[in-house]
Amino acid sequence: MSRINNAIHEIHHMDTLASRNQWVNEIHPLVKLVLTLGYIILVVSFQKYNVAGVAGMVVYPLAVFWLADLSFSESLKRLKIMLSLVCFIGIFNPFFDKNYILVSGIRISAGVLSMITLVMKGIFSVLASYLLAATTSVDKICYAFRLLHIPKAIVTQFMLMFRYITVLLEETGRITQAYMLRASNQKGIHFKAWGSLAGQLLLRSMDRANEVY
């Protein structure tokens, strides 16, 4: 399966998860949205050396995974790129924060502690966002946004972007496949064709979107 087809499959899979007949999915979307936002704000508000406090926040995502009957291992596989990026960002902390902290008489690098807390904050925030998307459809999330009085134009833009991203990916797959069939000896798309292919992608995506509409 190509990367584009895999991306389309993952989008449809998230829609399937959100439409399951689970009691967590039936909770009012505003409650889940506010809870998720509150959880993320609480996680990032911990002091940068408070490893124990941030570690205790793991209870919420684990509880939701269990209540929503979601596979933790499969979710980690789907989020591996995002989680790897979070870990990559935090790994530079020991190089910038070279202070030391005494913990029970043991000298510990402050940079290592801040790295651990930053990584955990990022991982827990990503997991909370994923759980919201896996238990709440985009339509319900947008409905919750409107209840929070977020401007209608922004909510509509968000909803349309999500709904038509599969159309864009499908057209990208067709154009890429057609190009590779015509230039089978090339590895990837030549940079001279990027402009024309991008224009074709835009026009074809707009036509498909109009048909879908």
Domain that residue 206 falls in: 154-212
- Tens-digit pLDDT string for the chain (213 aa): 467 777 777 888 888 888 888 888 889 999 999 999 999 999 999 888 888 889 999 999 999 999 888 888 888 888 888 888 877 877 777 677 667 676 666 677 777 788 888 889 989 999 999 999 999 988 899 999 999 999 999 998 888 888 788 777 877 878 777 777 777 676 767 667 777 777 877 787 777 777 767
Is the same domain home to 74 and 14? yes
- Cβ atoms 36, 129 nearer than 8 A: yes
pLDDT at position 48: 82
Strands (E), the chain: 100-103, 106-109
Is the same domain home to 161 and 132? no
Is the same domain home to 174 and 204? yes
> What is the number of structural domains in the chain?
2
pLDDT at position 191: 66
Q: Which residue has the tokens 């069939």?
A: 181
Q: What is the 3-state secondary structure (H, E, C) of 44-60?
A: HCCCCCCHHHHHHHHHH
Q: Which of 149, 171, 189 delimits the end of a domain?
A: 149
Is the same domain home to 23 and 121? yes
Is the same domain home to 93 and 182? no
Is the same domain home to 62 and 81? yes
Is the same domain home to 91 and 143? yes
Is the same domain home to 134 and 166? no
Q: Show Cβ contacts of residue 56 under 8 Å, excluding neighbours closer than 6 positions.
A: none
d(CA 166, CA 208): 11
Is the same domain home to 202 and 122? no
Strands (E), 92-143: 100-103, 106-109
Is the same domain home to 140 and 164? no
Is the same domain home to 60 and 128? yes
The dihedrals phi and psi of 63, each to the nearest 5 degrees, come to: -65, -40
